[in-house]
Amino acid sequence: MSAEDPAERTDDQRRRPASESDAPDATTPAASRRSPVTPEPTYGGGSAAGTGSRDLRGVRHVAQLEPDPASVLRTFALGREVLSIQPVPGAWSNRVYRLRTDRGEFAVKQLLNPWRDPRWMEWLDEAWRFELAALDAGVAMPEPVPNPATGHWLGQVDAYTQRRRRREPDAAALVRVHWWVDGQPMGTGPAEPETARWAGRVLATLHGLAIVPSDRTLFPQPDTVTADRWPELVDLARRRRASWAGELAAAAETVAGMARLARSARSRPDLEVMSHGDVDQKNVILSRRGPVLCDWDVATPLLPAREVADVALSMADWVRFDIARTVVRAYFDAGGQDTDIQPADLGPQLMASLDWIAFNVERGVGIRGTRPQDVALGNHLVPDLLARLPEQLNVSLRVTELLGGSGPTTGA
């Protein structure tokens, strides 16, 4: 599966999570956290405010270690016996496992802080509260399982080396858990019309919650950092003899055009609301009850018009503009805000796309994650991501024309 959080519980298993709040917070594109080009370290972090977790300082959280399933079961009270655990392929930033116990099936996400954000725990805490608010509003999602000791999302569990299946002293894995739901990943390519309508309705629901972050500084502000450092990335790729270094260099003119578009986008934090921030094919599971929206960890504050434009084109795969218009019409018909989408509205998302490319460039040359599968994934993703940039810029410049006539209808 390509979604990072491919879990949801079935109707007969459904219970409300034992959490304290409906007070939420939101999201930003997953690719918007930046860091210098440096080797990936062993990481740690302080306790997130309000998580109720024990102090994490002094405990090693090593990316090469994996969570002990028995420790996950005990920490989250998932039953009496572990029946099986399997890694879920396709998780791009963290790791996901399918855990089966005598109580049911669960998705266990090992959190790796791939963006090396010093405040990532606080961001996750805000995102958790927003996730619960969206769940209460009826958005179909993998239902989170709280840590019964704290009522919050985080679990610090024992860790072991995969090769030796041996516990590592003073080492731990940070995980969160959702109920598993059976279904198929949406896959690549344009969405079906009904899925596009669903996406528009979901955005209208999330924006209608009108939740603002308790601390805007937790979340990234759109900027052109990656575009500005593009020559540095090209030099890095050439020095590491990456097979796609030439393609990276050839994209420089397109990247500069995207940066100009992003600089024309006005910052309007007063109009932002919390939202999912990464509604696209990789985060949608098609279950027997309909689409399920996964991976809420990067929920962030966004301008509604900008998220609508981004999701519409993502669902269209940037080529099926009838599908893009279907998303926008469904958004309006479900009570979404009146949005006049302009080319500048796509500038921040284009910068997030460049951030994701930079992340995979660093991963592909082996300085952000040293596991062979991480390096291979980076090398697999970069060429296709680069190939899409020129058309994305062209579509962004024509977005008002392409999405024209997408206003409210009487029957989306």
DSSP 261: H
β-pair partners for 185: 285
- pLDDT surpasses 90 at 89: no
- Label residue 368 by pLDDT band (50, 70, 90): confident
Asked if 346 contacts 262 with a C-beta cutoff of 8 angstroms, the reply is no
> Could you tell me what percent of the chain has a pLDDT over 90?
68
Whole-number Cα distances in Å, 350 to 163, 254, 259, 283: 39, 11, 8, 18
- Label residue 372 by pLDDT band (50, 70, 90): confident
pLDDT at 408: 56
pLDDT tens digits for 22-39? 222 222 334 444 443 433
**Residue appearing with tokens 């809420």:** 296
What is the model's pTM? 0.82
Could you list the beta-strand ranges (E) of 119-272: 144-145, 155-161, 166-179, 184-185
pLDDT at 32: 44
- pLDDT surpasses 90 at 128: yes
pLDDT at 7: 40
pLDDT at 171: 77
- Label residue 64 by pLDDT band (50, 70, 90): low
Asked if 226 contacts 351 with a C-beta cutoff of 8 angstroms, the reply is yes
Amino acid at 386: L
β-pair partners for 145: 177
Q: Where in the chain is the domain with CATH 3.90.1200?
A: 193-402
What is the distance between the alpha carbons of residues 96 and 18, in angstroms, rounded to a whole number?
A: 23
pLDDT tens digits for 94-116? 899 999 999 999 999 999 887 78
pLDDT at 160: 83
Amino acid at 123: W
The mean predicted confidence, pLDDT, of the chain is 84
CA–centroid distance for 33 within its chain: 11
Could you list the beta-strand ranges (E) of 88-127: 95-101, 105-110
What is the distance between the alpha carbons of residues 100 and 106, in angstroms, rounded to a whole number?
A: 6
For residue 330, give the 3-state DSSP assignment.
helix
In terms of DSSP bridges, do strands 273-275 and 144-145 run parallel, antiparallel, or are they unpaired?
Answer: unpaired
- pLDDT surpasses 90 at 310: yes
pLDDT tens digits for 232-257? 999 999 999 999 999 999 999 999 99
What is the distance between the alpha carbons of residues 124 and 412, in angstroms, rounded to a whole number?
A: 35
The predicted model gives 147-155 an average pLDDT of 93
* CATH number at 193-402: 3.90.1200
Asked if 142 contacts 181 with a C-beta cutoff of 8 angstroms, the reply is yes
Phi and psi at residue 121, to the nearest 5°: -65, -40
What is the distance between the alpha carbons of residues 180 and 31, in angstroms, rounded to a whole number?
A: 25
Tokens describing residue 156 = 């610090």
Contacting residues for 141 by C-beta, under 8 A, at least 6 apart = 8, 131, 134, 135, 292, 293, 294, 296
- pLDDT surpasses 90 at 302: yes
Contacting residues for 402 by C-beta, under 8 A, at least 6 apart = 321, 324, 395
CA–centroid distance for 387 within its chain: 22
CA dihedral 329, 287, 184, 310 (to 10 degrees): 20
